[in-house]
Structure 1
């Protein structure tokens, strides 16, 4: 019972933080993106290098994630806290990120923490796999509004809920047994049904979340979130299986690490960003 309460409390707090930051927008959303980005990169570094990575390398990667996310937010004119950045421009962030890329590579000359090439490759993957999608979350907010970004999160949660409920009740056919034995095709289609139903509600009762998508485009949005959310979950499962770990960390009591919570988001965000770019360009 104590574990159930802990898991429930952590889950409610996690959702409340996301809803609050998304609705507040501006630098609150930027702060959420940076928080998820730096925690995720640090967690990924720890598990991908199996703990054999220096604190200096981890710090450099955290700084790199910070500059990448902030640079994207700056480029999109997302309100950043002036007391921290003042007149910082996109060029400043770009310069800082280039310095990070060079510093991270050169640092391996002086840091004796095992396979230098593997560590640098893991660092770059952490930037692309975690920090970049968090920056694109800021991009989605700038392209749309708080309701659309919140709607995306709700679709992710509904997809997970639908997949779990339907899969638990009637799941028989394995979706990807090699990677995630508990997932089933029935669960996937249950999650898809939940997402499409929510997309219909967005269209007919939520004014299309204020982004001007027609019915079919909104249904496409729901399908994109479900498919890429499932892939995001599977990708993280593949990473953990490859590295021989059950959870990415223990930051969130009852839920594991931060990557265990944002795994779907890491693929959904760039997919939705690309989808919006496509449907609004034609």
Structure 2
């Protein structure tokens, strides 16, 4: 019972901070997800260092992840005219880390190259790309709109809730038992139905997209969020760990909490580009 209460309390605080930061404006949004991006990279590097005994300097990876988010934020919200100079320090950092590894005599160079790159692509870039979503539908003269970034999390929460309720009561057919024993196809369908229903509801509240476009976005979030969760489960099963960290009591680590977002964000951006909103 105590663990359940801790989990609920952490979830409430997490939700309030997340929603509040988005509603308060781009500075709060940027500050929160800058921290999230850097903590995600740190958590990923800690896991890999323990699992693969990598020797690259995790602080360079954390700094790189933070700067990548910062560069995306400035490029999208500060009307930056020259994006190449903005990203030049990040490129220089990556080149420096690679050169450092060429001359390093510690660890596997291949592992260090691969996992440093993955720390940026997997743990940092998706959060940086939230900045792109936060410009869609912005008022004339403005560069920020919270609707679509918040909608991704709404769809994920609806999907999780629907999948849990339907899966617990009606779940019979396992989805990928070797990876995630509790996931069922019935739960997946229930989560999709609730999330798409939320998309219909949002279409009546916000006129950023048509009802069909909202439903399409919800469906994409459901599919990619589920895949992101399965990928995280694969990683943890391979490493033989239960949680990616312990930063969030009752929920595990940052990657445990945001695993569904990692594939959903770039996928939604691709979808919005396809339908002409970006």
* TM-score normalised according to structure 2 size: 0.91
- 8 Å Cα contact 2:37/2:123 also seen in 1: yes
Moved more, 226-235 or 242-251: 242-251
**Aligned in 2, Cα 1:259/1:147: closer, same or farther, shift over 3 Å?**
same
Displacement of 1:36 in angstroms is 1.3
Residue of structure 2 in register with 1:98 after alignment:
91
- Mapped to 2, the partners of 1:181 and 1:227 lie a distance apart of 18
Q: Deviations over 1:209-246 (max 9, x none)?
A: 231x2221111011111111101101111111122221
Q: What is the rounded CA distance, in whole Å, between the counterparts of 2:180 and 2:131 in structure 1?
A: 31
> Which residue in the other structure is 1:210 paired with?
207
Structure 2 residue 251 is matched with structure 1 residue 258: no
Partner of 1:107: 100
Provide the residue aligned with 2:140 in structure 1: none
Q: Are 2:54 and 2:111, in contact at CA under 8 Å, matched by a contact in 1?
A: no
The equivalent residue for 1:135 is 128
Q: Quick one: structure 1 residues 182 and 21, their matched pair in 2 at CA, closer, same or farther if it must change by over 3 Å? A: same
TM-aligned CA distance change 1:88 to 1:48, over 3 Å: farther
Deviation at 1:58, TM superposition (A): 0.8
**Matched-pair contact (CA < 8 Å) for 2:174–2:183:** yes
Moved more, 107-116 or 169-178: 107-116
Specify whether residues 89 and 163 from structure 1 end up closer, same or farther in structure 2 by C-alpha distance, changes over 3 A only: same
Give the CA RMSD over aligned residues.
2.0
CA distance in 1 between counterparts of 2:238 and 2:187 reads: 24
Cα distance in 2 for partners of 1:166, 1:281 equals 34
Matched, 1:227 2:220: no
- The alignment of Structure 1 onto Structure 2 pairs a total of residues equal to 270
Does structure 2 retain, via aligned residues, the 8 Å contact 1:199–1:218?
Answer: yes
Match among 112, 116, 121 for residue 123 of structure 1: 116
Determine helix, strand or coil for the equivalent of 2:50. Answer: coil
Structure 1 portions without partners, runs of 5+: 80-86
> How far apart are the structure 2 equivalents of 1:78 and 1:167?
45
Are 1:271 and 2:264 counterparts?
no
Aligned match of 2:142: none
Q: Gapped runs of 5+ residues in structure 2?
A: 138-144
1:182 aligns to 2:182 (yes or no): yes
Partner residue, 1:82: none
Q: Deviations over 1:102-125 (max 9, x none)?
A: 121123256555222202211111
Q: Partner of 1:21 in structure 2?
A: 21
**Could you say if the C-alpha distance between residues 110 and 10 of structure 1 is closer, same or farther in structure 2, counting changes exceeding 3 Å?**
farther
2:57 and 2:169 map into 1 onto residues whose CA distance is: 46
Report the counterpart of residue 30 of structure 1 in structure 2.
30
Partner of 2:154: 154
